[in-house]
Chains A and B, each alone.
Chain A
Amino acid sequence: MRLLVSWLRDFVDVTASPREMAGRLELCGFEVASIEAHGGQDAVIDLEVTANRPDCLSVIGLAREVATAYDLPLALPSAEPGARIALNPAPVGESSRVTVTVEDDELCPRYAAVVAEVRNDRSPSWIAERLDAVGIRPISAIVDLTNYVLIELGHPTHAFDLARLGGPEIRVRRARAGEMVTTLDGIERRLDPDMLVIADRDRAQAVAGVMGARASEVSSATRTVVFESACFKPASVRRTSKRLGLKTEASARFERGADINAPLLALARIVALMEQAGIGQPLGPLVDRYPSPRQPLPLHLRRQRLAQLLGAPVDDAVVERVLSRLGLMPAASADGWDVVAPTCRVDLLREVDLIEEVGRHYGFDRIEPTFPVVPAPVPPPDVRVPRDRLLRRILTAAGLSEAVTFSFLETDAAQAFVAAAEGDGLVAIANPLSAKFEALRSSLLPGLVDAVAHNRRHGRRDVGLFEIGARFTAGGETRGVAVAWTGAAAPEHWSGGSREVDFFDVKGVVERLSGALDVPLRFEAVRKPFLTPGRAASVLVAEGPLKGAVAGVLGQVVPAVLDARGLPRQDAVLVAELDLDRVWQARGPGAPDVLDDAVATRPLPRHPFVVRDLSIVVADALPAEVIRGTIQAAGRGGPAPLVAISVFDRYHGKGVPDGRVSLSVRLTFQAPDRTLTDADVQESVDAIVATVVREHGAVQR
């Protein structure tokens, strides 16, 4: 809202400079966008008016705020002789020149009109100049008149050329299905029965509260006009304006809520200005269709509630001054004040709204900060908070940096990875602003791979990133953690020995997470279109109530996908993603709280351990996990308890036949209650060897 300071001074004798006034308005809730000098003494202050204050989309509304802020009287529009803002209310009755029928008084609770005889040439300069200053182009005397009243009083009105109305009559009705109207901007628009129109006998002559029609537009030839001044239901104007994609000064005001008493005020002002400017005079009485008059809303403000909500006692005198200046007519009662909200203040509906009014003008700045008493110990946070912090600690310690990528993506980018989420397709955004944001991610991997590509394009060869975030499928929203890693496994060092990241680096990270969350996971070879065959695994829950459930995926991205995402085909990009909710759920009820440090320690062993290394040749295709299981089971029966198994070498080549592999396994034996003898250990090792020979055709080397 552009406020011309000299126009404001018609209403209130404020002597403060425009800059000072702007500062004051800012602290009353009107953000100042700019202050421009205008002519010698004058200025235009551009203010942001919040959605709850349609009354301040006008000079009079802002004048009331200024008058309250400076404790000055406000000159109200009046029919008294010598009034500063003159009104000329025509008598109310029926017009012999036009008939007015309101068919839908829910969407149009009040409709007033007056016919006038006019000369529609140029406006007098004082009208044109004021409009120009506030950013409205002067057009013709009649149009300028309605715009002048729009800015001054905040109420939109419209003028129809009576000679161009069919009838002559005005009919406020819903549009017919498919009814067409060409609005003043020259665009032909299709209407629907949810929309309200102002029609003549035959057709729509305006979209109610939004814009008039070309057909009855005033021109220099116009001799008789009908001035319309009405109230329309805010929700209806809003819906219509949205559906037509047509926002106007009128619709902006009507959709926020118009003053039910403004129609007559606006017409009285139009008539007074019309006569003052020599543009014309009314013909006959003013028609007012107002079937269910509304009463101003009585409200009550309690002194004690005011002090309690603001946390500061406000002097009665200040409360009364503010409420009076705002036009709320306070009357003292036992515990506070009875007030009447003026009909222009559509935002004042309950006591708390009055508290805001007093607070605003008392000054939020004068309220001394206090610190609220903490009534109870702080309950623990949502478990996701410490859990995700733990994951971040582990992942950053692995050398990976945290990424935050968009929750939505292009369908194309996502498509290659769709299979990363089980089964479900992508969830589409109904109203995306661009194709880049058209679908919700079902996996964190597309975003992470794109982030790797961004870094690669900027000359970074070694990139390790992770993200923790939401993923979306038709089944709903889940939280995941994912890793994308390429380049050297550790930073280059002068001592040499650099190694590229591979499958087992990423797997190690997943294993670490599994350990930290205390959820045993298994890995199983899998085929995924975006992962290199033979270098892809499904991550499964290994134990507990969800045993066997898929909890994630791991592997090396295929060259075709790298290519599509702008990465060199020959790069090795390793990725992993876990469904955190699934993993968390897999802990089962009663699982120990891994986020707590309440662990029961085991006593340290008091007897020495014995280590035996075993080299066996087995089929290359035999999964390590199977051999491990066999050894574990075989070790269970022997006299020496087997406490640890680790594979420390895997060898192909000379001395090992094709299709077979030599595995070196370190076995650790230890008993809690005695020192093991060589004989015990040997017996256990023999049993293990016998079992792997029998079950896997192993040959001991």
Chain B
Amino acid sequence: MTPPDAAAVHTEMAAFDAELARAESPRDAQSIRDRYLGRKHSVVASWMQAVASAAPDEKRAIGRLANELKHALEGRWARFLEAAEQATRPAGALDATLPGRMPPLGHRHPLTVVRDRMEEIFTRMGFTIVEGPEAEDEWHCFDALNMPPEHPARDMQDTLYLASPIGAGAWASDPSGPDGAEGDDARTLLRTHTSSIQIRYMKTHEPPIRIVAPGRVYRRDDLDLTHSPMFTQVEGLAVGERMSLADLKGTLLAFARAMFSPAARVRFRPSFFPYTEPSAEIDISCWRCEGRGCAMCKQTGWVEVGGSGMVHPAVFEAVGYDAERYTGFAFGIGIERVAILRYQIDDIRLFFENDVRFLEQFPY
């Protein structure tokens, strides 16, 4: 510290000016001010302390010098602020804190967000994406899938039928379109699963094949918190000469890790679907509680996401594949189900209300 004398007042003032001149931001300047003018540990504060500890006869002189320095620095600080203000706000300056004009950008529907993601994951695994009609005939939706008329399984998924058959529409020119194999009394229905697309694909392609079929499906259900007469599925199918249940498990494990959590595990619970044998429910280890038990997994540590199994030989026979030579696996995963789990949605109806406040919460 420079001892308080007249020369020191000028030295400190010059040093203060010089430092302020080098300040790069208002923040810098403020810290310089504090070092000279702050209430503690500053130049002025130390001069004031010097007054207190000075001999009684010197007190008056040093006090005067200290005050002189204080006022001089304060004056310089005020001028500095004014100059800084001038520098940053020239005439006509904008208020940079006002909101900008954002270009418009709408949101994809959450069911599309999930669908796109699933398509991307399965494409990486060698699956191609195929589509098919929503208004379907009974043969493609049931008979070819090992559900002959009177099969009790036709009851499991109660079906919406059309009052009268309709034309093939845009699917007419599709080589996999209806082929009359279903007979004259066939009714048109709203497909209950996208497995009907797999039948169409197998009828027009030879193995090896690997496809996923996304799309809307329909059931004769009332609309409530957990049910909807319309929902969306992605069904997968792989057929080759040595496809196994282990391959199915590996494929779904890769999907679960890409979709839910890198640490996900897959559990198969035996089940029954007419078009697969063996059949299994797909459980994924709960990624929210990591298996410890939470509300999402109902304290079980596992979350069910869909059904799967090895393609039933009767399905291969229906499409003209050699059921001895080829084996295959199939799976079906509900897009709403995945979205509900991923986004913590508690009411399936939100997907179909199209409330913009809901839609805007999803990524672009």
- Interface residues, chain A, CB within 8 Å of chain B? 26-29, 31, 50-53, 234-235, 238-239, 255-256, 308-312, 350, 352-353, 355-356, 359-360, 364-365, 367-372, 374-376, 378-382, 384-385, 389, 392, 395-408, 427-434, 436-437, 440, 451, 454-455, 458, 460, 463-466, 469-470, 472-479, 490-491, 493-495, 581
Contact = CB atoms under 8 A, between A and B. Distances in A.
Nearest to A392: B108
B170 A408 contact: no
Interface of B: 98-99, 101-102, 104-109, 111-112, 116, 119, 123, 125-131, 133-135, 150, 152-153, 155-156, 160-164, 166-172, 187, 190, 208, 210, 216, 218, 220-223, 229-230, 238, 240, 242-247, 249-251, 253-254, 266-272, 274, 277-281, 310, 312-313, 327, 351-357, 359-360, 364
Nearest to A379: B128
Contacts of A31: 269, 271, 281
Contacts of B150: 234-235, 238-239
B interface secondary structure, majority: mixed
A491 B360 CA distance: 14
Given A309-B327, A581-B170, A477 B135 contact: yes
Given A430-B162, A474-B164, A477-B135, 19 more contacts: A52-B272, A310-B278, A312-B245, A350-B313, A352-B310, A369-B249, A369-B266, A381-B119, A385-B119, A401-B109, A401-B359, A403-B109, A403-B354, A406-B352, A430-B163, A434-B222, A458-B355, A475-B169, A476-B169
B240 A478 contact: no
A396 B208 contact: no
A407 B161 contact: no
Nearest to B109: A402
A356 B278 contact: yes
A382 B129 contact: yes
A476 B222 contact: no
B269 A470 contact: no
A611 B281 CA distance: 69
A4 to B, nearest CB: 23
Given A405-B352, A405-B354, A433-B229, A474 B167 contact: yes
Nearest to A471: B169
Contacts of A406: 229-230, 352
Contact of A359 (B245, B266, B353): B245
B1 to A, nearest CB: 52
A87 to B, nearest CB: 30
A598 B354 CA distance: 37
A477 B107 contact: no
B118 to A, nearest CB: 12
Contacts of A491: 102, 104
Contacts of A50: 271-272
A614 to B, nearest CB: 33
A434 B359 CA distance: 27
8 contacts: A378-B123, A382-B129, A389-B116, A402-B359, A407-B218, A427-B162, A473-B169, A493-B99
A245 to B, nearest CB: 13
Contacts of B277: 352-353, 355-356
Instruction: Please indicate which of the listed interface residues B254, B270, B279 has the most CB atoms of chain A within 10 Å of its own CB.
Output: B270
A311 B244 contact: yes
Contacts of A469: 216
A310 B210 CA distance: 19
A455 B130 contact: no
A429 B160 contact: yes
B152 to A, nearest CB: 5
A370 B250 contact: yes
A401 B106 contact: yes
B166 A376 contact: no
Nearest to A407: B230
Contacts of B280: 364
Nearest to A382: B131
Given A360-B270, A367-B246, A376 B190 contact: no
Contacts of A432: 160
B162 A429 contact: yes
A436 to B, nearest CB: 8
Contacts of B160: 429-432, 437
Contacts of B238: 372
A385 to B, nearest CB: 5
Contacts of B163: 427-430
A401 B108 CA distance: 6
A28 B168 contact: no
Nearest to B116: A389
B106 A399 contact: yes
A332 B277 CA distance: 23
A389 B119 CA distance: 12
Contact of A476 (B126, B166, B216, B354): B166
B359 A308 contact: no
B250 A371 contact: yes
A397 B364 CA distance: 10
Contacts of A478: 169-170
Contacts of A405: 352, 354
B270 A359 contact: yes
Which 5 A/B pairs are nearest by Cβ-Cβ distance?
A: A476-B169, A311-B246, A399-B104, A311-B244, A29-B270
B330 to A, nearest CB: 13
A513 to B, nearest CB: 14
Contact of A451 (B254, B269, B327, B354): B354
Nearest to A359: B278
Contacts of A368: 246, 249
A429 B161 contact: yes
A157 B218 CA distance: 38
Contacts of B106: 395-402, 464, 466
B65 to A, nearest CB: 53
A138 B218 CA distance: 41
Given A372-B251, A396-B364, A399-B106, A29 B269 contact: yes
A376 B13 CA distance: 80
B161 A470 contact: no
Contacts of A472: 135, 166, 169
Contacts of A493: 99, 101
A428 B162 contact: yes
Contacts of A399: 104-106
A486 to B, nearest CB: 11
Given A434-B222, A451-B353, A367 B127 contact: no
B243 A352 contact: no
A312 B268 CA distance: 15
B133 A370 contact: no
B251 A396 contact: no
B94 to A, nearest CB: 11
A365 B281 CA distance: 12
A51 B271 CA distance: 10
B250 A470 contact: no
A379 B166 CA distance: 31
A316 to B, nearest CB: 19
Given A312-B246, A474-B167, A404 B152 contact: no
Contacts of B250: 369-372
A130 to B, nearest CB: 28
A399 B127 CA distance: 32
B190 to A, nearest CB: 7
Contacts of A495: 101
A31 B162 CA distance: 34
A463 B99 contact: no
Given A431-B161, A475-B167, A375 B208 contact: yes
Contact of B129 (A385, A429, A436, A473): A385
A475 B170 CA distance: 9
Given A381-B129, A382-B129, A365 B268 contact: yes
Contacts of B242: 308
Contacts of A369: 246, 249-250, 253, 266
Contacts of A475: 166-167, 169
A308 B170 CA distance: 41
B134 A407 contact: yes
B75 to A, nearest CB: 39
